[in-house]
Amino acid sequence: MASILGSFTTGQRRQLVDEVIQRLRERIASGGFPVGAKLPSEPLLMEQFGVGRSTIREAVRVLAHAGLLDVRQGDGTYVRAARGEASLSHRLREAITDEVREVRRALELENGRLAAIRRDDDDLALMATLLAKREEARTRRDSGALVEADVAFHVAIATATKNTLLADIYTDFADVLQTSLSDYATFSDTQAALHRHLLDAIVRRDPDAAASATDQLLERAGSAG
């Protein structure tokens, strides 16, 4: 199969992932990878699709969520079904930007409010650690590490709500969000200060202040966290 790298620039990882997902779906639907068959190894898939290991892994993860693939640790990845239910991850990938922004706003505002009310000491310790990692990455101007720590911080807030369904929904959402944010990391002092304000509000058990800090973060972030 011809490499698809030529159609994409380095900064378009999300497009690469989506392209590989579509190609894999087509191979599965056509019987090229029949139900019950084991997928080729990662190196072979990388060669076939002309992409890196992280792109293959993300595409496989999405299709596993969709019910098409079964990832067996230490064994390999098998085709589970020719067609799968549209997972939240896949639905988010197909959503328009405004829809994603609105869903993110609704989730993060409620996460901040509930976390401020229900968090415990372990939650606070984890959030503080992740925020410190975000600041270290910002100091190093390491965009990848910054986005990873940023998303993990917001997932920790979702976990602190003690609403397991809300936390699961946000975690699934954040997996896709992290990919889309990879090209939009911000090293801004204002964003860093607002993250500190958000944590402080949660520490003080002030849901209104947590929602306000979250609102300001989202207003200034655009596409970033």
Same-domain pairing of 57 and 27: yes
Same-domain pairing of 99 and 80: no
pLDDT in tens, 32-43: 999 999 999 999
Please indicate, yes or no, if residue 90 is contained in any of the structural domains: no
Length of the chain in terms of residues written: 225
Q: Within a 10 A sphere around the Cβ of 43, how many other Cβ atoms?
A: 10
Q: State the pLDDT at residue 216.
A: 94
CATH code of the domain in which 61 resides: 1.10.10.10
Q: State the pLDDT at residue 210.
A: 98
Tell me: pLDDT of 184 over 70. no
Which residue, of 84, 114, 140, is where some domain finishes? 84
CATH code of the domain in which 160 resides: 1.20.120.530
Which residue, of 36, 53, 84, is where some domain finishes? 84
Same-domain pairing of 125 and 179: yes
Same-domain pairing of 70 and 103: no
Return the half-sphere exposure (C-beta side, CA atoms, 13 A cut-off) of residue 4: 20
Distance CA 180, CA 15 (A): 10
Q: How many domains does the structure of the chain reveal? A: 2
Tell me: pLDDT of 182 over 60. no
Same-domain pairing of 118 and 217: yes
Same-domain pairing of 24 and 116: no
Tell me: pLDDT of 14 over 80. no
Which value, to the nearest 10 degrees, does the dihedral of the CA atoms of residues 205, 155, 15, 94 take? -80
Q: State the pLDDT at residue 205.
A: 98
pLDDT in tens, 63-91: 888 788 999 988 999 998 877 554 555 56
Tell me: pLDDT of 8 over 70. no
Same-domain pairing of 71 and 99: no
Secondary structure letter of residue 71 according to DSSP = E
Position 168 confidence tier, pLDDT thresholds 50, 70, 90: confident
Residue pair 29/83 in contact (Cβ under 8 Å)? The answer is yes
pLDDT in tens, 48-64: 999 999 999 999 988 88
pLDDT in tens, 96-124: 567 778 888 999 999 999 999 999 999 99
Same-domain pairing of 18 and 41: yes
Same-domain pairing of 76 and 104: no
CA terminus-to-terminus distance, the chain? 37
pTM above 0.85, yes or no: no
Same-domain pairing of 19 and 112: no
> According to DSSP H, which parts of 141-222 are helical?
143-160, 164-181, 189-203, 207-221
Quote the domain boundaries for residue 75: 5-84
